[in-house]
Amino acid sequence: MSLLVALLLVLGALFMLLAGVGLVRLPDLYLRMSATSKAATLGASLVLLGAAVHFGTAAVAGRAVVIVVFLFLTAPVAAHAIGRAGYRRKSPLWSGTIVDELADADPDRKESA
Amino acid sequence: MILEVVLLALAWMALTGDWSPAAAVFSLVLGWLLLRLARPLGGEGFRRVRLARLPGFLLFFLKEIVVANLTVAAAVLAPSGRLRPAIVAIPLALDRDAEIALLANLITLTPGTLSLDVSPDRRTLYVHAMSTSGPDDLRREIQQGFERRILEVFR
């Protein structure tokens, strides 16, 4: 059992570390949001799951499950809000971006980009 | 409405760790009041929910999350020359607020893609992808993956 707990904790921490590395390495706001919001959600969920298995009581497991559900409900809303706000504030896209169909749809934005 | 109240009550009892009858009554009343308060904020809900198809949908979603997280892990560690980001316009077959919100959230939750905006006429969803072989591939992936599954469960 403790092996499973250790595995969950280490995997969770690993995903959060990857999110951090992505934040530093990736070249623009959108890519950074992409890397951090999900990997951090998965990482935190795995750590919570590890805690639930470790304590093994309904009270802890129930709380852990509810927290995971709330994380999965709220994290994408926050990521979407930040990404959209960034686009509206014209946070620059990385030069390697192959196509921006949102700019094509809105000539006003294309002009000022 | 009843389903929502029960779900909120279960969440409340799980978080407080109190499963006594008194807590059940209290959380049901609280959940009902909250939903009454929040109703003016809500858009259109789902037409229907096929509960029997929900587990398959959740399994598919979990699989997508795990696979996509590994892909992003590789993208983060690889040299940035491997990245091929794009913002792609995805035409929507979904038309309800709740359906579009669910699709947008699922896309944001699976790593590598981020929902940026919905066109004012709500026919198009704009998605940022970290690495795509081409806009048409991403369109096909989302339309035949998440969107088709949402249609299966909620129509």
- Backbone torsions φ then ψ of B112, nearest 5 degrees: 95, -20
Helix (H) or strand (E) holding A102: helix A101-105
* Together in a domain, B23 and B63: no
Position B46 in a domain: no
In a domain, B122, yes or no: yes
Global ipTM: 0.73
- Phi first, then psi, for residue A31 (nearest 5°) are -65, -40
* Residue of B13, B64, B87 for testing the chain A interface, max A β-carbons within 10 Å: B87
Q: Are residues B125 and B62 in the same domain?
A: yes
Q: Measure the N-to-C terminal CA separation of chain B; round to a whole number of Å.
A: 18
Q: Looking at the structure, do residues B102 and B146 belong to the same domain, yes or no? A: yes
Give pLDDT, residue B81. 65
**% of chain B residues with pLDDT over 90:** 5
Burial class (CB in 10 A: 0-12, 13-18, 19+), B113: buried
Name the closest residue on chain B to residue A46, using Cα atoms.
B66
Provide CB contacts within 8 A for A77, sequence distance 6+.
B105
Residues of chain A found within 8 Å of residue B97, distances taken between Cβ atoms: none
Would you state the pLDDT for residue A108? Answer: 53
Token representation of residue B74? 């590789």
Domain encompassing residue B36: 2-41
Scanning B87-146 for CB atoms below 8 A from A yields 87-89, 104-106, 108-117, 119, 124, 126, 128, 130, 132, 135
Q: Where are the alpha helices (DSSP H) in B82-134?
A: 97-109
Residues 6+ apart with CB under 8 A from A11: A43, A46
Residues B86 and B68 in one domain: yes
Single-letter code of the amino acid located at B118: V
Task: Report the residue of chain B nearest A21, measured CA to CA.
Answer: B76
Segment A4-11 mean pLDDT:
92
Q: How many CB atoms lie within 10 A of CB B143?
A: 15
- The distance of A42 to chain B (nearest Cα, Å) reads 8
B99 and B36 in a common domain: no
Whether residue A76 and residue B115 make contact (CB cut-off 8 A), yes or no, is yes
Q: Which residue has the higher pLDDT, A38 or A110?
A: A38
Statement to judge: residues B72 and B136 lie in one domain: yes
Residues in B closer than 8 angstroms to A59, CB to CB, are 17
Report the alpha-carbon distance of residue B125 to residue A81 in Å, rounded. Answer: 14
Q: Which two tokens stand for residue B102?
A: 């669910």
Tell me which residue has tokens 């690889």: B78
Sign of CA dihedral A71, B146, B107, B74: positive
Report domain extents, chain A.
Answer: 2-112
Same domain, B69 and B145: yes
pLDDT given for residue A106 in this prediction: 61
pTM of the model: 0.75
Residue A50 has pLDDT above 90, yes or no: yes
Give me the helix-helix angle, B97-109 and A58-88, nearest 10°: 100
Indicate if B75 and B145 belong to the same structural domain: yes
| Domain A2-112 belongs in CATH node 1.10.287 | yes
- Indicate if B118 and B144 belong to the same structural domain: yes
Residues B37 and B64 in one domain: no
A16–chain B Cβ distance below 8 A for any pair: no
Q: Are residues B36 and B62 in the same domain?
A: no
Among A94-98, B42-46, B114-118, B130-134, the minimum mean pLDDT is found in B42-46
Tell me the pLDDT tens digit for each residue of A53-64: 998 887 788 888
The domain tally of chain B equals 2
Q: Among positive and negative, which fits the CA dihedral A63, A66, A71, A72?
A: positive
Residue B141 lies in a domain: yes
How many alpha carbons fall within 13 Å on the CB side of residue B73?
17
Q: Do residues B98 and B126 both lie within one domain? A: yes
Position A111 scores a pLDDT of 41
**Calpha distance B122→B100 (Å, rounded):** 8
